[in-house]
Amino acid sequence: MIAKRTMEASLPFMLLLAYTAGAKFHFASYYADHMVLQKEPSRAIIWGFGDPGSKVTLTVSQNHSVVTKMVQMEENCDTWKIMLDPVAQGGPYTIEVHQYIKEEVSNISLKDIYFGDVWICSGQSNMEMTVSQIFNASKEMEDASKYPLVRIFATALVQSEVELQDLGGVNLQWSIPTARNLGHGDFSYFSAVCWLFGQYLFEKLKYPIGLIDTSWGGTPIEAWSSKKALNECGLLQYIERSPPLYLDAGPREVSVLWNAMIRPLINMTIQGVIWYQGEANTLMNTDLYNCTFPALIDDWRKAFHEGSDGQTNKQFPFGFVQLCTAVQVQTNDKFPRIRWHQTADYGYVPNKRMPNTFMAVTIDLGDNESPYGSIHPRDKRTVAYRLHLGALSVAYGEKSIIFQGPYPQRVQVNETQRLLNITFAECVQLRHMDNKTFEVCCSNQGTCSWKQASIVSSSSYSVILQSPACSDGIKGLRYAWSEWPCEYKQCPIYNPQELPAPPFITFSYNNPAWIFL
């Protein structure tokens, strides 16, 4: 699968090379008809390549309104970059760019351009899964015509050992969505999570949304991180090099996808990013993910802010999907550890280490019947719905929206009766009495022996557990700490908004949230 897509990516790459070789004056590869540029209050950036020393003018026109910008290219530089004035949401606009050098004039243009919000969607195969692979695929693709102002773009699969200035190739140039370009092929384009997330945003915001899909299956976070970001975590080479066993592995080398599929985009002004990755890191550098993931977010934010001359927010919203399930038989605890590390070991977001982030919890979306393997659940609509709730709250300031399930605030232990009263900050709904999801740490000569704790009852803000006998007392508590913690939408704890409680682990040592009676 991966090898086939890589070969397909070589065609647009070669076409791009042929185009650029024959014409010095052109837009960067991801500027094209039908695209969405970032609306006000930010200023959109347009850039491209030209002849050193030339003068470049740009006009933005709609009906009889025309705005002109000009830039003088330096003698030793073959790129031009123009920042537009802030433009309100809407369109269509026409953008024309002219290059003047000596007595020669060259013209290029963009048509059917809209201004709205631009989101980048990145990660590995669960982000890569196309609309044709998910539940209700036929209807999802038929509905594409209802969203002509949700515009889509997909990069080609290209890797590079050095940072590229422009994309090496394009799989889907900016397009109005159709059934064909949403479901081009398995793990090809267009990303189902990305598309449905954009669809939800458009239904709420009622203005154009631009979606950029840049993802590659079987890839670890190290490939998507710059060397600078990896250095922040003391990691520039992999410690473990075993390839993932459950799917064809994509590139794993340090920074090769940052170099080729993210770095070329940083001049563009964007609204935010959504990310679905982590499965590959259950098999490599698992316990560094609590550093590598926050470091990637920090680094991308800095790069896009600087690349857009300050127009992309330096703390732009970053959403991600907490890992779903893989196999029902528990083999190790690497999936729950990655889920925990995705929050920088806080268990929830935003937090002090990961400000302005939001998370979709998906531990209850396991799909053992998926024809693409249980690692690839087909309910991507629920994933996108939960993501968009976070975006509305974090990115769009709708603070009344709850976008994450209940998280514990206090653990009260009655050691005589062996009862634990877990208090939550928001209302909880006990969906069923699952006696396998909670576990307590029974201390045994300083080490943990995890034993199941039964749910006894619940109230609006608490759940009461019956603990097994622990000779040295209860030292810790964890919830949903397994690879496949519950069946489809049947975890024990949800909130009234039907969002599942995220997995957590907590210990009593010097923890004021623990109270012993």
pLDDT of 454 over the 90 cut: yes
**Beta strand 90-101 pairing with 104-123:** antiparallel
From residue 170, alpha-carbon distances to 6, 30, 47, 75, 148 in Å are 12, 8, 17, 30, 21
Q: What is the pLDDT of residues 72-109, one digit of tens each?
A: 998 889 999 999 999 999 999 999 999 999 889 999 99
Residue 141, pLDDT > 70, answer yes
For residue 7, what pLDDT is reported?
A: 35
Name the token pair of 282: 């259950």
pLDDT at 13: 43
Compute CA distances 478 → 113, 278, 317, 485, whole Å. Answer: 50, 21, 29, 12
Contact, 35 vs 113, CB < 8 A? yes
The whole model's pTM is what? 0.92
Cβ neighbours for 23, distance < 8 A, ≥ 6 positions apart: none
* Residue 8: band (very low, low, confident or very high) from pLDDT cuts 50, 70, 90: very low
- Structure tokens of 249? 């592995």
The token pair that represents 209 in the structure block: 């949304």
Structure confidence at residue 64 (pLDDT): 72
Least confident of 13-17, 353-357, 373-377, 467-471: 13-17
- In the chain, CATH 2.60.40 covers 26-114, 408-516
- For residue 104, what is the enclosing H or E element? strand 104-123
Which has the higher per-residue pLDDT, 185 or 1?
A: 185
State which amino acid sits at residue 361. Answer: V
- Look up residue 237 and give its two tokens: 């080479």
Higher pLDDT, 225 or 510: 225
Degrees, nearest 5: CA angle 310-313-315: 125
Could you give phi then psi for residue 148, rounded to 5 degrees?
-70, -15
Domain 26-114, CATH number (from 2.60.120, 2.160.20, 2.60.40, 3.50.50): 2.60.40
3-state helix, strand, coil in the chain (%, to 5): 25, 30, 45
Q: How far apart are CA 198 and CA 210, in angstroms?
A: 8
Residue 231's CB is within 10 A of a number of other CB atoms, namely 12
Q: Please state whether 85 falls in left (phi above 0), alpha (psi between -120 and 50) or beta.
A: beta
What tens digit of pLDDT does each residue of 280-300 get?
999 889 999 999 999 999 999
pLDDT in tens, 234-244: 887 544 444 44
Asked if the model's pLDDT at residue 18 lies above 60, the reply is no
- Give pLDDT, residue 155: 97
What is the mean predicted confidence (pLDDT) over 402-429? Answer: 93
Burial of 3 (0-12, 13-18, 19+ CB in 10 A): exposed
Fold for 115-396, please state it. Answer: Rossmann fold (3.40.50)
User: Which pLDDT band holds residue 436 (cuts at 50, 70, 90)?
Assistant: confident
Rounded distance between C-alpha atoms, residue 493 and residue 429, angstroms: 6
Which range has the worst mean pLDDT, 1-10, 131-140, 207-216, 262-271?
1-10
pLDDT of residue 84: 95
Q: What is the 3-state secondary structure (H, E, C) of 3-44?
A: HHHHHHHHHHHHHHHHHHHHCCCEECCCCCCCCEEECCCCCC
pLDDT at residue 390 is higher than 90: yes
CATH 3.40.50.1110-classified regions of the chain: 115-396
Average pLDDT, the chain: 90
Q: What is the pLDDT of residues 472-494, one digit of tens each?
A: 889 999 999 999 999 999 999 99
Of 262, 383, 258, 260, the closest CA to residue 320 belongs to 383
User: What fold, for 408-516?
Assistant: Immunoglobulin-like (2.60.40)
34: left (phi over 0), alpha (psi -120 to 50) or beta: left
Residue partners of 241: CB distance under 8 A and separation at least 6 = 252, 284
* CA–CA separation, 223 and 409 (whole Å): 36
